[in-house]
Amino acid sequence: MKKLLVLSLILLTSSVYGFTINNGSGTTSIPTVERGNKQVLKRVLRVYNNSANTLPKFTLVRINSTHNGMMTIDKCGANFFADNCFGMTIDGGQPFRNLNISISGLITDINTSEYEFNDELYLSETNGEFTTTPGKISIGVVLKVGETDGQILLNIIRKK
């Protein structure tokens, strides 16, 4: 009975940490959807580009704050907030506008022509971009090579 209670506490703690981000000035909840009787992270989030720069489609981003209750984002790179890399833009984001990011799953219609099938991709030293050069943040693998119809399985993992 005691072992079961401890396991339940560990799972609960893990779930709580998985749905909240501490942005330095407090916490921001990440939207969830209900699947059966469980809450799971939404894979696509609506966020706000609070910078003066356009964020092109397929840019790797981090959450940096909130604006009117929405998470705000900025580019991340291997040497620039790498540990906070959170997702990839799936539509272009004009300055001071809303846009969508994916935090995991299949990314389609991306140019993967310079890679090979099953290449592991990592966060690049160039902010917002990815590379095959191994690093501490893996962002996923190439599932389909193509100039306009490439596919990546996005799965951001911090390696030790």
**Digit-coded pLDDT (tens) for 97-123:** 999 999 998 899 999 999 999 999 999
Domain membership flag for residue 31: no
Residues forming beta bridges with residue 45, ordered by sequence position: 101
Alpha-carbon separation of residue 83 from 52, 63, 86, 123 (angstroms): 23, 11, 9, 10
Q: Has residue 110 been placed in a domain?
A: yes
Domain membership of residue 29 (yes or no) is no
Per-residue pLDDT tens digits for 32-83: 545 555 544 558 888 999 888 899 999 999 888 888 888 999 888 877 777 7
Dihedral in degrees, nearest 10, Cα atoms 124, 152, 101, 40: -120
State pTM to two decimals: 0.73
pLDDT of residue 36: 57
Counting the structural domains of the chain, the total is 1
The answer to whether residue 17 scores a pLDDT higher than 70 is no
Distance CA 122, CA 36 (A): 34
The residue-averaged pLDDT of 149-160 equals: 89
What pLDDT does residue 65 have? 87
Domain that holds residue 137: 43-160
Tokens 């693998």 belong to 141
Asked if residue 145 belongs to a domain, the reply is: yes
In a domain, 27, yes or no: no
